[in-house]
Each structure stands twice: as structure tokens, then as C-alpha cells.
Amino acid sequence: MNVVIIGCGNIATYVVNSIVNGETKGIKLHTIVGTPRRTDYLQELSAHANCHWTTDIDSLEWDEIDVMIEAAGQQVVKDHLLTFVKKGKHVLVISIGALVDQDFFQTVYTEAKKSGSQILLPSGAIGGLDAIRNAAMGELRSVELTTKKHPDSLTGAPYIIENGIDMDHLTEDLVLFRGSALEAASAFPENLNVAAALSLAGLGPERTMVNIIASPHIEMNTHEIQATGNFGNLYFRFENKPSPENRKSSYLVNLSVVRTLEDFCRNGGLFYN
Ligand SMILES: NC(=O)c1ccc[n+]([C@@H]2O[C@H](COP(=O)([O-])OP(=O)(O)OC[C@H]3O[C@@H](n4cnc5c(N)ncnc54)[C@H](O)[C@@H]3O)[C@@H](O)[C@H]2O)c1
């Protein structure tokens, strides 16, 4: 399958290297899309991968492309996902936070059913979404996410700025936020991807609860998930090492994208759900 990757940051670079190193089967990298600000690196990365590059998504050779990989941010999803889907392209979305807008999600989903496009949502920094989805087939009563991160990974969030929270002198854990995944969308947009993935798998953005804690002594991003329903109870805890190239992201996210892509592009084989 011919693949285009949007972004040339941490995740995109990892995926490109995995393809170049032959860790993925049945995938040919067609083009890397970046921003004009990063043209030098874009050229370097595409030369390494022996593929095309561009800073203009609209100039892509659509007839030659099967799969789009978004590894660039929520704005790219908001601006381009619908177009990709209408063209019948399969799309791997890593900035899942953009999909908590239910109207947008429904529009994309409806168009995908018409065009035959498949939208791939990697589990990213967490896992266990299969169990949440299974539980939602019955009576899933509650799903709650507690994310604990170092203050450095949370600074700059609109909620912190608007509330004038001093993140520089924390000596102990501080609960910053408790609310729905929908409320977290505007409060902590950069940290929303995990909450969004969880809510899409289960109770939706309005009923999935999110706690965000700043922890000055923590070394790994931690996500705890608790759910209850008529299946029983579940509890997952993820302690994620940061990605070597972007300390705000987790290495598990890179692995998750490559696994999702590989599972989709190779024909047959095992499929876990
Ligand atoms: N689902 C998850 O669990 C999860 C976890 C971590 C990150 N993410 C998402 O993945 C995204 C990428 O993460 P990263 O660590 O690679 O970030 P990064 O900052 O290292 O890289 C992002 C890249 O996208 C490029 N970019 C931005 N806008 C673009 C555009 N319009 N066209 C082309 N390129 C564009 C930037 O220049 C940059 O190179 C994040 O923005 C985040 O939303 C999801």
C-alpha cells in the first residue's frame, strides 16, 4: 500500500525509520508532508526514505495513494480529515482529540461509510480499548481516566494560563482538573488524545471523566483507567517512558502507530480486538 505521512516530528520520524528499516510489511512510503518552516529536515528525511516530499497537501498525487497517516496535530485533522475520507483514502489519525467534536465525528463517519474509507485509531499512549469496547456492548456504567504528568509536560495548557496556576514551584502532587473529556478538550487540548481515544471506545466525551494531576517527582507519564459495568470492573495502569525525541509524548505512541499501520497494510494475519 502507498502511504503518505503528514508531519515530520517525533512520531513521523519514528514511523519513517521503521518503514525504511523494513520493520513494516506491505508498505511503501510515497510522500512526507511537512511545514515550510521545516523544509531542510523534510528534504533530509524524504531522501533517507527515498520518497517524495511536499509542504502542500493539495498537490498530492491522489490516484497513487492508499493510506494517509496524520502525525501532525489536531488542526490538521480538523482541516483535512473530511477531504481525505471523501476521496476514499484510509486515514490513520493519531491526534484523536480532534474527534471529540461529535458533529465533526459523525460527519466524517457518514462520509467514510459512503466512500469506503477506513479510519484507523491507534490506542496511542494507552491500551485496553478492546475491553472498554467489549464492555460497552453491555451496560458500561462509568469510565474514568487519571493522567499524571510532570508539570513541564503540562505548562502552556489554556486551563493553567486562564487560572494563573503556578507550575514552577510545585513540591507535591496537584490535582489540576476534573471534568468530562469534552470539557478537557478546551482545558488541556494537547493532553486530550488519550481521553478522546478512551471516550470514543466507551461512553463518549460527555460521560467519560478525566482527572489531570501535575506531579513534580514523577519520571514517567502515568495513565490510570477505571471502568465499571455489568461485566464487572477493570483497572489499567500505564507507566510510559517519554519518547526520546519529544519528552511530552510517550514512546508507546510511536510503537502503537507502527503496529496499527502494519496490521492494516499487511494482508491477513492476526487481528486482535
Ligand atoms: N493518541 C495519542 O495517544 C497521542 C500521543 C501523543 C501525541 N499525539 C498526537 O500526535 C501529534 C504528533 O506528535 P509528535 O510527538 O510527533 O509531535 P511533534 O511536535 O514532534 O511533530 C509534529 C510535526 O507536525 C508538523 N506539522 C504541524 N502542522 C502541520 C501541517 N499543517 N502540515 C504538515 N506538518 C505539520 C510539525 O512541523 C512537526 O514536525 C501531536 O500533535 C498529538 O496531537 C497523540
**CATH code for position 194:** 3.30.360.10
CATH number of the domain that 98 lies in? 3.40.50.720
Q: Are strands 174-180 and 208-214 parallel, antiparallel or unpaired?
A: antiparallel
Same domain, 140 and 39: no
CA distances from 93 to 69, 151, 162, 203, 256 (A): 6, 27, 29, 20, 12
* In the predicted structure, residue 270 carries a pLDDT above the cut 90: no
Same domain, 14 and 98: yes
Q: For 149-179, how does the pLDDT look when each residue is reduced to its tens digit (9 = 90+)?
A: 999 989 889 999 999 999 999 999 999 999 9
Q: Same structural domain for residues 197 and 257?
A: no
- Which residue from 190, 189, 194, 188 is spatially nearest to 176, judged by alpha carbons? 188
Nearest CA-CA partner of 145 in 183, 118, 114, 94: 183
Query: Which atom in ligand 1 lies closest to the alpha carbon of residue 95?
Result: 43
Residues 53 and 140 placed together within one structural domain of the fold: no
| Distant-in-sequence, close-in-space partners of 120: CB < 8 Å, separation ≥ 6 | 90, 91, 92, 93, 260, 261, 264
For the chain, the domain total comes to 2
**Are 214 and 257 part of one and the same domain?**
no
User: 271 in a domain, yes or no?
Assistant: no
User: Are residues 90 and 149 part of one domain?
Assistant: no
Residue 13 belongs to domain spanning:
2-120+252-265
Pocket of ligand 1 contains residue 246 by CB under 6 Å:
yes
Q: What is the pLDDT of residues 18-38, one digit of tens each?
A: 999 998 888 999 999 999 998
Write down the catalytic residue from 30, 80, 90, 223: 223
Q: Indicate whether 63 and 149 sit together in one domain.
A: no
User: What is the rounded average pLDDT for all residues in the chain?
Assistant: 94
- 3-class DSSP state of 64: helix
> Is there a single domain that holds both residue 184 and residue 221?
yes
